[in-house]
A and B are shown apart, each in its own frame.
Chain A
Amino acid sequence: MTSTGIRDRVAIVGMGCTPFGEHWTKSIDDLLIDAVTECVSSSGTRLDDIDAFWIGTKDSGQSGMTLSRPLKLDHKPVTRVENFCATGSETLRNACYAVASGAYDSAMAVGVEKLKDSGLSGLVVGAPPNDGTEPDLTPPAMFSLLAPAYAARYGLDDEQMKDVLTRIAWKNHANGAKNPLAQFRKPVSLQDIRESPLVAGMLGVYDCSGVADGAAAALVVRAEDAYRYTDRPMFVKALGLASGPADGAMRSDYDYTTFPEVVRSAQDAYRQAGIDDPRSQISMAEVHDCFTPTELVLMEDLGFSGRGEAWQDVLDGSFDLDGDLPVNPDGGLKSFGHPIGASGLRMQYEMWLQFRGEAGERQLDAPALGLTHNLGGQPGACVSFVSIVGAEPTPA
């Protein structure tokens, strides 16, 4: 992979994020208006002055009019994007490249998803008319395949594996309890997590992220213009994306203990950002903890832990809020649920707050570089996005 990257050429100068949760009284339009309005006001600009928009949603709308209609945008270019559960990150990636190209002075990335109105449990993956032969696993079943494979490869017994997964859910709920925007804002005991009813494989209810509604937005401008909008802009260091050949369920050498797509997107992002030791150079990470074993495997695929070592790092508390590399300081998908189009931007929102010193009880000590990771698909067949953002531009 040979992306040149756009290190420090664009910056985020405003953000908005709604509370995530069961918004029975708010529509898709309401959520969009709330997120965009907060984003615009945080950047001290006017909606009319923004040149272009990217709106991401998997199922809550089609076309750019998903955004232009509720906000009455005046014939601006608006593109709807979709990239499975990485949709929110995809909006930001497109907006950043649009500004970096020089085509626009400013662009807004917006993501929204309203899941609760369907009345269904969990996510639903739609498909074009087909021959009815695709495996029909529910999302927890897809990701539950990671747990026994990881345990077998690295010699953990079921009890140890359950302890590791439980520890991840416990940590993310503890962080979410400190976040006023989270869907679940209460700590959950290790015992309650461990004993929750089984959903798929060894995954219990508390090993799964919730189902929520939400929206988030980010305003992107050229880096040299950033300080005209805010005195604390967030600089984009790297945007890595890898779409896999989706052959894990077809080739016998795939063992369900890794996401090759994550490894590749991370390598790309690290090269763009000039990172060679992510564990020590990155101050904080928001990762796609759709299910607890996903976060475990991500720690290794992102290079935070060596192969077969993430489970010990998890148990040691390395990724806790007070660990050496806090992961999901905002509570993650575990505490926020996963309104698909919004999640990738919600991750950026935590970076934004942390760099600005506005993260309240969760505030980390002077973070310099942050990583966000968004995943769409399933083990063996997914798209993976990794961004690196920073509080300061790199000295020339």
Chain B
Amino acid sequence: MQGLLSHGIYVPHYRLQLAETRAALGAGPASGSRAVASHDQDSTCLGYEAARRATARAAVTPAGVAFATSSPVYADRTNATAIHAALDLPRAGEALDLGSTPRAAFGALRAAARSPEPALAVLADQRDGLAGSPDELLSGDGGAAFVFGEGEPVAEVLADASVTQEFLDRWRAPGEPVTASWDERFGAEVYGPLVDEVVRLALERAGIEQPDHVVVSSPHRRAAAAARRRLGDGAPTWIDREVGYTGAADLGLRLADVLERARAGETILVVSAADGADALVLGVRRAAGGTSGTPAGHTTDISYTTFLTWRGRLERERPRRPDPDRPAAPPSSRNVRWKFGFVGSACEACGAVHLPPQRVCLACHEVDRMQDRAMRDARGRISTYTVDRLAPSLDPPTVDVVVDFEGGGRFSCQLTEGDAQAVRIGDAVEMTFRRVFAYRGVHNYFWKAKPVLEAQTT
């Protein structure tokens, strides 16, 4: 049966408490938080983390990746290819970007749902606004991903529908961090009938009158609130309280949250109100698995100045060290499975594991008798480490670790999301795909270690 086979979400580790921004700015909400991507993550990294979770749960290998974001890292160059490479997917198949608006999320979902081959929809975003604005404080960063294809689906797509209308509500020049908007009341007037129309169409096509669950996502706060009241998706969730509106990922996070609570036989109405309106009706076939939300103690609060620094909005003094070299295209291409997929090699003669992959075995010196060894999901332990206070970083000091992996292999790399005071020899770590730095417009993606937190979110 064709349908939604699996989902995965990713909410980054860091939180900005709104009480903290209120203290810094003297105004704004006093409670709640927003999710903040690490200084070494962008929309591509957030999307990958969600995609790795979704694909790990699916029995199929996606032949296509559709990546929706309103905060693409590159223009004139596809961002989905980096996600495709980090998942180490086979070359056959497509990887494409949809953007650069929240509406693109629905497009990616529908493209994957309609694909004749197994397909992956990746929705991820990093959201910003002027200091103290609702766009800054009530937004968040995150990712969600969904695998569609033949198998035993979590849910079937019963119907979809779309309506489109040209009007000026929110806009942003490419590359600008801040979105401008028209009077919110005007947009609310326009969105109301659009949502009603698309919901009527979708439910008609699905042949149902009242869905069991409703998911509404919109960059327009007032329109979203109104639609939720009318359609019966009223109660704020952990996403509202803790994460914020995550742009292209918002629809996915909310859908995942409902999927994890829905029971077989129930229906879900998914509504997106962005420059028109889109709706999807899903029929739940089995439990999706996973537990949304963030276990207590698995997040770290950051200060408002740290948030601004990570977003490039507060430029801090740097150590007198050289700028990094941007990665060169030919070696990055030759080593793509290593750089993006963290695929090392293992000696066929003696089994020694090599990170990075080698042609000559470090143990038995056999030449060209290597097998690929995918290490991105391997766990390891810190065998030694140091705290580098001289290295330039948006989040100094840098922690460098030597990791010995379960099943063999050693690698020396940066530790991210670790506490420089708390890191210890023997700590368990796992690998995560990060933007190590960006220089002269080139984003250098590679893998870092991060502490293992038990009972990770989905």
Contacts and interface: CB of A to CB of B under 8 A. Distances in A.
A251 B404 CA distance: 8
Nearest to B410: A252
A135 interface: yes
B402 A130 contact: no
A120 B322 contact: yes
B332 A131 contact: yes
8 smallest CB-CB distances across A and B, nearest first, come from: A132-B327, A129-B328, A141-B388, A201-B386, A249-B412, A132-B444, A131-B331, A247-B362
A197 to B, nearest CB: 8
A121 B338 CA distance: 32
Contacts of A119: 320
B308 interface: no
A364 B343 CA distance: 56
Contacts of A68: none
A127 B321 CA distance: 15
Given A131-B338, A136-B324, A250-B362, A122 B331 contact: no
Contacts of A144: 386, 388
A243 interface: no
Interface of A: 119-122, 124, 127, 129-133, 135-138, 140-141, 144-145, 148-149, 152, 198-201, 245, 247, 249-252, 254-256
Contact of B384 (A124, A135, A148, A250): A148
A256 B410 CA distance: 13
Contact of B436 (A132, A140, A249): A132
B390 A138 contact: yes
Nearest to A140: B390
Contacts of A245: 362
Contacts of A122: 321, 390
Contacts of A145: 384-386, 402
Interface string B342-354: 0000000000101
Q: For B322, B356, B358, which residue has the most chain A Cβ atoms within 10 angstroms?
A: B322
B413 interface: yes
Interface residues of B, number: 47
10 contacts: A127-B325, A130-B327, A131-B328, A131-B338, A132-B326, A132-B444, A198-B387, A201-B386, A201-B387, A252-B383
Contact of A133 (B320, B390, B400, B446): B446
Given A137-B400, A198-B387, A249-B411, 15 more contacts: A120-B320, A121-B320, A121-B321, A131-B331, A132-B328, A132-B436, A132-B446, A133-B335, A133-B356, A137-B386, A144-B386, A145-B384, A149-B384, A254-B410, A256-B384
B232 interface: no
Nearest to B344: A250
A24 to B, nearest CB: 16
B391 A136 contact: yes
Interface string B276-316: 00000000000000000000000000000000000000000
Contact of A135 (B331, B335, B383, B400): B400
A135 B412 contact: yes
B321 A120 contact: yes
A249 B402 contact: yes
B185 interface: no
B319 A121 contact: yes
A90 to B, nearest CB: 25
Contacts of A138: 321, 388, 390-391
A378 to B, nearest CB: 10
A251 B338 contact: no
B241 to A, nearest CB: 38
B338 A124 contact: no
Contacts of A135: 400, 412-414
A291 to B, nearest CB: 11
Contacts of B339: 131-133
B306 to A, nearest CB: 21
B281 to A, nearest CB: 45
B96 interface: no
A219 B356 CA distance: 43
Contacts of A141: 386-388, 390-391, 398, 400
Contacts of B354: 250
A198 B390 CA distance: 9
Nearest to A120: B320
Contacts of B412: 135, 137, 249
Contacts of A255: 383
Interface string B380-413: 0001111111110000001010101000111111
A124 B322 contact: yes
A120 to B, nearest CB: 5
Interface string B430-447: 000000100000001010
Q: For A145, A198, A252, A256, which residue has the most chain B Cβ atoms within 10 angstroms?
A: A252
Given A121-B321, A131-B332, A251 B410 contact: yes
Contacts of B390: 121-122, 138, 140-141, 199-200
A368 to B, nearest CB: 40
B160 to A, nearest CB: 41
A124 B391 CA distance: 11
B334 interface: yes
Interface in B147-186: none
B388 A200 contact: yes
Contacts of A120: 320-322
B82 interface: no
A200 B389 contact: yes
A136 B388 CA distance: 10
A217 B383 CA distance: 42
A133 B338 contact: yes
B34 to A, nearest CB: 30
A130 B388 CA distance: 23
B25 interface: no
Contacts of B387: 141, 198, 200-201
Nearest to B358: A250
Contacts of A247: 362
A132 B326 CA distance: 7
A201 B411 CA distance: 19
